[in-house]
A and B are shown apart, each in its own frame.
Chain A
Amino acid sequence: MINTILKPFEKHLPENNRLERIWKLAQVDFKKRYYNDYFGLVWALINPLFRMAIYYFVFSFIFSQKIENYHLYLFSALIFWMYFAESTKRGLSTLLTKRYLIENIVFNRLDLFYSLSLSVIFGLLFNLVAYVGMSLITGIYFTWSVLLLPIMLFLAYIVSVSFGLILSTLNIYFKDIMHLWDMVLLAGFWITPIFFRGEEILSRAPILLYANPMSGIIINARKVLLFGELPDWNLLLFSSVYALVLFLVGRFFFLKYSHKAVEKL
């Protein structure tokens, strides 16, 4: 099933070893995670849908949050946030899970991180399909602005790769960084505009919004997906610069400090 979906794309890859390597690692990774059968893919959908249902219940019935089409409001942000959380968590242990490769072959280890985040993006795309279905059923139709969504996807990808690089390097020296990162993700979930409006936080504590690289991406993703508006260009520029800086820092950090990976892990 997964192979039949991914195969057609494979033909259009340029004949470039590095791209093909990243693609193959991502494909194999995705296949492994979802057991390579029809039902396996359902799991990629069930988790975010279930979360959405719970948050919807909690925030609209218990806290009586008044936002129109709240289920879409939640889901559009949730798929991005869950992408970020999963990608970074798995990035953290990538050097361990791919140890069988780095021990025996010399190649660019950055490719492991590109492919890992790519494989998680495949999951996100399935969720996007579910979102589109839900949106059409609700009666929200898309405008041309949705064509800008790949920009947000790309930014989320860069941010996730960068955190993966930094975390996996830290993981070589501090084996319990995983627990710490879990807590950061938990805090991140509550301060990212997933279930509330970003504008409220922006006026009261802008630092919370600007310090969190996912906030701007999520706000703009929601604009183009749900509201059919053009993105907030200033915020988009900020997110892009932030992502680029993170990536350069992560890459530098990884290349400088990860050489002891095989020895220490």
Chain B
Amino acid sequence: MADDRKIVIDVENVSKTFFVRSRKVETIRQRAYNLLRARKNKQIAIKALTNINFSVYKGEFLGIVGHNGSGKSTLLKIIMGAFPADKGGNITVDGKIIRLALGMGFDNTLTARDNIYVNGTVLGLTFKQLGQKFSSILEFAELEDFVDTPLKYFSSGMRSRLAFAIAMQTEADIYLMDEFFGGVGDVGFMQKSDHIFQDRILQGRTIVHVSHQLRILKKHADRIIWLDKGMIKEIGSPDDILPRYKQEYLKEKRKRRKKVGEQLLDLEDV
């Protein structure tokens, strides 16, 4: 990795602690009650992330892997600024960010047209720009026949296509993808996503991709971060990390299945 490249995301010493109480204290009534109680309802601190340090360069495709609950999504949300990191941590982001997650970012009661306009303007496009890009958004999403259909009638594949089509047309510099292509049983979209990354339609844009789909990461990622229990276990190339991660994942999976007898998510083949 050439270090002379421009850093667009700089994560320094970031930790995140969530405070959970054994009983919920969210209302005035509960707060008053909690004050009066002799035995205080104590807060339990859950450390979701501990001392995370890394940088992302302009135009880079960074993959993040880790077991469920390792803090991947929390990390993305903190980078996005959806919630703040603990004191002492620092995040610098240079550029416009959009987070793509499955089934999110739309108002279900609105039509595709309205959702395109709402998301587009919130992302920083003017009506004029949106007007010019409108047909290509629809074309890419293959939704020409459903412009005025409320989103609640859309399949998850249709939603993902729409979300992606909008995101592609915006001036966002950084794309945070949270299991975005996971769970879509839409073969066409899967191929399309391959095509998107391969042809570098998003050229010059920075991508941070959290995924269980190691196939995509192996093919397209420049670097991989392996998160384990809220800490960075390793940062390295996909060829180096992914096979070992897969092994450990399978080991863990077998162990858990023995223990609890539960079935975990299947991993795609590396």
Contact code string B1-31 (vs A, CB < 8 Å = 1, else 0)? 0000000000000000010000000111101
The residue in chain A whose Cβ has the minimal distance to the Cβ of B109 is: A32
Contact of A175 among B26, B84, B104, B117 (CB under 8 A): B26
Say yes or no for A17: interface residue by CB 8 A criterion: yes
**Which residue, A16, A104, A174, has most C-beta atoms of chain B within 10 A?**
A104
List chain A residues, Cβ under 8 A from B100: 104
What's the least CB distance linking A34 to chain B, in Å? Answer: 13
Considering only residues 199-220 of chain B, those with a C-beta below 8 Å from chain A are: none
State how many residues of chain A have any CB contact under 8 Å with chain B. 32
Considering only residues 51-94 of chain B, those with a C-beta below 8 Å from chain A are: 77, 80-84
The residue in chain B whose Cβ has the minimal distance to the Cβ of A13 is: B127
Say yes or no for B110: interface residue by CB 8 A criterion: yes
Question: Complex: how many Å from CA A259 to CA B78?
Answer: 11
The residue in chain A whose Cβ has the minimal distance to the Cβ of B106 is: A100
A15 and B118 contacting across the interface, CB-CB below 8 Å = no
List chain B residues, Cβ under 8 A from A102: 82
List chain A residues, Cβ under 8 A from B124: 17, 107
Contact of A262 among B83, B114, B126 (CB under 8 A): B83
B83 and A100 contacting across the interface, CB-CB below 8 Å = no
What's the least CB distance linking A179 to chain B, in Å? Answer: 9
Contact of B105 among A13, A20, A101 (CB under 8 A): A101
A21 and B122 contacting across the interface, CB-CB below 8 Å = yes
List chain B residues, Cβ under 8 A from A262: 77, 82-83
Say yes or no for B101: interface residue by CB 8 A criterion: yes
A21-B27 in contact given A260-B84, A262-B83 (Cβ < 8 Å): no
What's the least CB distance linking B187 to chain A, in Å? Answer: 26
Interface residues of A (CB under 8 A from B): 10, 13, 15-17, 20-21, 24-25, 28, 31-32, 100-107, 173-177, 180, 259-264
- In the assembled complex, 26 residue pairs joining A and B whose CB atoms fall closer than 8 Å, in A order, are A13-B127, A17-B121, A17-B124, A20-B127, A21-B122, A24-B118, A25-B121, A31-B114, A32-B109, A100-B104, A101-B122, A103-B77, A103-B101, A103-B105, A104-B99, A104-B105, A105-B98, A106-B97, A107-B123, A173-B26, A174-B26, A175-B27, A176-B27, A180-B28, A262-B77, A264-B26
